[in-house]
Structure 1
Amino acid sequence: MSTSRSGGRDRDEEGRARNARPRDGLGRPLPYGSPGVERQPEGVVRTPAETVTEAQELLDAGRPFHAHEVFEDAWKSGPDSERALWRALAQVAVGLTHAARGNARGGARLLRRGADGLAAWHGEAPGGLDPAAVTRWARQLAAQVDDDATPVEAATYAPRLRGTA
């Protein structure tokens, strides 16, 4: 995606507002011209297995904000029957992002909201996901963040999306 600055705002080729500022590993905007972490491309259609694999790699690398973008693509492009699941996963990824940034209250809230969404899933999950394992992880991390507002190390606390170590 290429962008241009128009009227003080970044715009894409269609003229839509798109923030082109570089970002750090937790998705925080950096000053223009700063080196940043490469952003995930938007609007990529992946299979469920590809989504889970790519998101797990990003989570393991301490980049939960970027994993959230992968889940958001699945949420927006996937079948209606899976949207709530992908949205819940995006919420837990953003919850981990906030917890790593030191926003304990927002992190815990999003982790619990995502856990509630995952707990509502019934049946076999796409892409080898283990919603029950991620639900347990999210609730445990939310409780920890509530008890200790110290920022967590995102890579250290990354969930196992397929429920294996």
Structure 2
Amino acid sequence: MLVEDLYEKHNKELERFARSMASNEKEAEDLLQDTFLKALTHLHSLSRLTDYQQRAWLFKVLRNLRYDRFRKQRFEVPIREQDEPESEQDGYSVVEMEELLQILPSDLRDVVYKRYWLGLTSKQIAGPLGLSDATIRYRLQTAIRLLRNKINK
């Protein structure tokens, strides 16, 4: 059994279901893609199921992916402006800010660099590191607190 076979059999129905559950077209496409990606990793067990059971499995996976995304969105907290370092207003040059960053542990320094220099979101930073968005936001808050303490001394 190949994932292409599953796609051909169930794509249209799953696409309609994804659109009905998702808040926008892009999310529906992402849900559909993630569903078939999960199917790809479970091909061995799916090959033992009947067509009806495969269809039910795919629908359940898609539904659970949507629920997981919804739960994560409920706990996402946008970074407030006062949490962001103010380099120009504080009179620090980029070089001075880079020197200040050297006092941070490497894991915090990396997160701050990716967030404020590269402009990545907490979700984009968390993915490759295998961490949750909340962990990244916590590390950013910790780093900012450490930097403020150092600057205020």
TM over 0.5: no
Q: Which has the higher helix share?
A: 2
Larger Rg: 2
TM-score after normalising by structure 2: 0.24
TM-score after normalising by structure 1: 0.23
